[in-house]
């Protein structure tokens, strides 16, 4: 870590209007945990787990990305092939192998501990994301220690921990939470190297720890999501080189040894997949996935520039109001080494993401630690803008109020039940959000922030832990899989027509045939203990083909639901053969 004596200043601190010390409640807890690094780490770990665990175990597989990642990992474990990446018989070469290995290791560990394969659920595939999210919170604390006091570092970590976007990604079995961990580690190590150069420390014997962390994190990021992690590094280094008219500090990263170490970590799998698939992986991942996002809105995810800025006020809640309040002071301090580095981390990459045509909310997640640290630096210097005191702080109440109304109304509409268990948590969240707004002033900003983060916790319990799992119509696949598990025959096989979401394959088995109505009828006629899962829009073709081949069948069960990936209601009939005429 850098010397604690170096603290970038975000302007001249303003004297408080009074000397009142709130020193009780949540602020008292903050006073205690910032008494040492060990206390801070334990506190942040517990806080992160409390934030991310509600709903982690009981939210069903989410279509489409999470289910695709989980199913591809499931097939790796089933086949024992940990090089190739497939979804059923189709290659899945959009992303490297890193997240699949992490998920497979979790599943294999659970099996080695005696958990039967039949009892392995989607939450096991989410464990790497949970680890990535908790690790990113702790690494934000570690990174922030290079810029602010221990108290400020804890606040920065809490800002990231409570953010809506990280809360979502921590509960999804895909790459983005782990990518955040690697990006934060790399940028934290890079920050220490840069700031040591700014302080004029002797470069003759720089520590090895920072380069090791930096190059290892880069390798992890490449194995998780290809070259994306280089964007954050190159944009930051390039901006700093222009502003400082020098990039001599990069030699402190030991680039020769670092590049060798990076290649040692990433090349084995890339060579293995090249030997297995030739240049198909590189064509699909670089040309078919990455470059297509630059040229157009991939998978209907195109959006105009500025959408990330608008989404930020929701996805970074409850920290977003403080970002607006901190912006003037941060800009005034933009040439101070600490603020300059954080802005170089944030602004160039953000502009790139706004320009790229394909946009998804999680793309900018690796930039959120920089925002959190900038806010913490301004917060501890009492330099928040007074002009935002009323309008900005109101957002702490508006967001939980709107989210609660939407969630409760959706639950009542879809389940015809008021979900009473969620109401106390919703109420506490609203009260804490109201307190954060009502009691806010620049002298007690910490207290309001802690109230807002606690409001985020209770809102997460209500939405993720209670309301979302109760919305069973949004998750038809578990209901279909449950129906197939209750049949009396041994080893049921299924074919799906019309409703073919990845979650269905994950829940009903890799061998599930995805076909059309006619194909489902042919599948049903080829043996016993077979079931055709036919969505209502494919039933006509199924019936015509069944009549043509003389297939007799009955409706074993019908599942009503809503396919949120396609935005329409569905009705899936489970047909079972009675033989042929």
Does 77 map to a domain? Answer: no
Structure confidence at residue 251 (pLDDT) = 93
> Residue 468 contacts by C-beta under 8 Å, 6 or more apart in sequence?
55, 59
Closest by CA to 431, choosing from 448, 453, 455, 399, is 455
Q: Of all residues in the chain, what percent carry a pLDDT higher than 90?
A: 71
Same domain for 510 and 429: no
* Burial of residue 176, with CB atoms counted within 10 A of its CB: 0-12 exposed, 13-18 middle, 19 or more buried: buried
Task: Tell me the C-alpha distance between 354 and 147, whole Å.
Answer: 27
Whether the per-residue pLDDT at 578 is higher than 80: the answer is no
Same domain, 443 and 564: no
User: Does any domain span residue 271?
Assistant: yes
Check pLDDT > 90 for residue 439: no
pLDDT, one tens digit per residue, over 413-427 is 887 777 889 989 999
Whether the pLDDT of residue 411 is over 70: the answer is yes
Query: Residue 46's pLDDT is what?
Result: 98
Identify whether 193 is part of a domain: yes
Cβ atoms < 10 Å from Cβ of 22: 17
Q: Dig out the tokens for 439 from the structure.
A: 């009691």
Least confident of 160-174, 373-387, 422-436: 373-387
**pLDDT of res. 442:** 62
- Residue 94 covered by a domain: no
Q: Is the pLDDT of residue 504 over 70?
A: yes
- 571 and 521 inside one domain: yes
Count up the domains in the chain and report the number. 3
The residue-averaged pLDDT of 563-577 equals 92
Dist. CA 488–CA 492, nearest whole Å: 9
- Return the pLDDT at 392: 73
pLDDT tens per residue across span 230-265? 999 999 999 999 999 999 999 999 999 999 999 999
Percentage above 70 pLDDT, the chain = 90
pLDDT of 471 reads: 92
488 assigned to some structural domain: yes
Tell whether 91 is covered by a domain.
no
Q: Is residue 521 part of a domain?
A: yes
Cα pseudo-dihedral 487, 489, 495, 497, rounded to 10? -40
- Stretch 514-539: mean pLDDT, rounded? 95
Q: Are 510 and 549 in contact (CB under 8 A)?
A: no
d(CA 398, CA 393) in angstroms, rounded, equals 9
Q: Identify the domain containing residue 542 by its residue range.
A: 474-580
Same domain, 434 and 512: no
pLDDT tens digits, one per residue of 295-317: 554 555 668 999 999 999 999 99
Domain boundary among the residues 334, 363, 384 is at: 384
- pLDDT, one tens digit per residue, over 482-499 is 999 888 888 899 999 999
Instruction: Please answer whether residues 398 and 168 qualify as being in contact, where contact means their C-beta atoms are separated by less than 8 angstroms.
Output: no
């Amino acid at each position: 870590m850098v010397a604690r004596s170096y603290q970038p200043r975000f302007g001249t601190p303003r004297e408080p209007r009074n000397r009142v010390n709130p020193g009780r409640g949540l602020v008292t807890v903050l006073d205690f945990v910032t008494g040492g690094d060990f206390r801070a780490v334990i506190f942040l770990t517990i806080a992160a787990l409390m934030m991310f665990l509600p709903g982690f175990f009981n939210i069903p597989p989410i279509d489409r990305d999470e289910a695709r990642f989980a199913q591809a990992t499931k097939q790796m474990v089933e086949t024992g092939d940990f090089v190739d990446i497939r979804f059923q018989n189709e290659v899945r070469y959009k992303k490297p192998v890193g997240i699949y290995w992490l998920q497979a290791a979790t599943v294999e560990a659970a099996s080695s501990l005696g958990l039967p394969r039949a009892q392995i659920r989607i939450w096991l595939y989410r464990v790497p994301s949970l680890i990535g999210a908790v690790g990113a919170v702790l690494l934000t604390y570690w990174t922030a220690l290079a810029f602010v006091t221990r108290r400020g570092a804890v606040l920065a970590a809490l800002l990231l921990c409570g953010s809506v976007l990280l809360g979502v990604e921590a509960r999804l079995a895909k790459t983005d939470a782990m990518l955040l961990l690697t990006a934060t580690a790399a940028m934290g190590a890079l920050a220490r190297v840069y700031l040591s150069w700014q302080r004029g420390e002797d470069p003759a014997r720089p520590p090895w720890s920072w380069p090791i962390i930096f190059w290892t994190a880069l390798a992890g990021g490449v194995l998780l999501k290809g070259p994306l992690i280089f964007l954050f590094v190159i944009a930051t280094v390039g901006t700093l080189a222009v502003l400082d008219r020098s990039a001599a500090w990069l030699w402190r990263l030991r680039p020769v040894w670092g590049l060798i170490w990076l290649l040692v970590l990433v090349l084995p799998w890339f060579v293995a997949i090249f030997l297995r698939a030739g240049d198909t992986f590189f064509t699909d991942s670089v040309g078919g996935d990455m470059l297509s996002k630059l040229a157009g809105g991939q998978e209907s995810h195109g959006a105009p520039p500025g959408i990330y800025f608008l989404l930020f006020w929701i996805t970074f809640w409850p920290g977003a109001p403080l970002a607006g309040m901190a912006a003037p002071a941060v800009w005034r301090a933009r040439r101070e080494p600490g603020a300059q580095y954080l802005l170089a981390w944030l602004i160039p990459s953000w502009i790139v993401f706004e320009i790229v045509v394909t946009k998804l909310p999680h793309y900018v997640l690796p930039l959120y630690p920089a925002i959190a640290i900038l806010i913490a630096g301004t917060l501890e210097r009492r330099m928040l803008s007074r002009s935002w005191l009323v309008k900005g702080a109101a957002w702490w109440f508006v967001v939980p109020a709107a989210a609660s109304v939407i969630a409760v109304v959706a639950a009542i509409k879809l389940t015809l039940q008021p979900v009473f268990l969620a109401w106390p948590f919703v109420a506490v969240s609203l009260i804490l959000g109201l307190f954060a707004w009502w009691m806010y002033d620049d002298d007690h900003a910490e207290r309001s922030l802690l109230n807002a983060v606690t409001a985020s916790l209770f809102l997460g319990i209500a939405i993720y832990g209670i309301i979302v799992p109760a919305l069973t119509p949004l998750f038809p696949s578990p209901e279909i899989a449950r129906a197939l598990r209750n049949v009396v025959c041994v080893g049921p096989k299924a074919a799906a027509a019309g409703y073919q979401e990845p979650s269905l394959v994950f829940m009903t088995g890799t061998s599930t045939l995805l076909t059309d109505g006619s194909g489902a009828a042919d599948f049903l006629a080829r043996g016993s203990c077979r079931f055709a899962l036919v969505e209502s829009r494919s039933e006509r073709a199924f019936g015509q083909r069944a009549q043509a081949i003389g297939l007799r069948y009955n409706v074993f069960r019908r599942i009503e639901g809503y396919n949120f990936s396609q935005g329409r209601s569905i009705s899936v009939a489970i047909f079972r053969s009675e033989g042929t005429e």
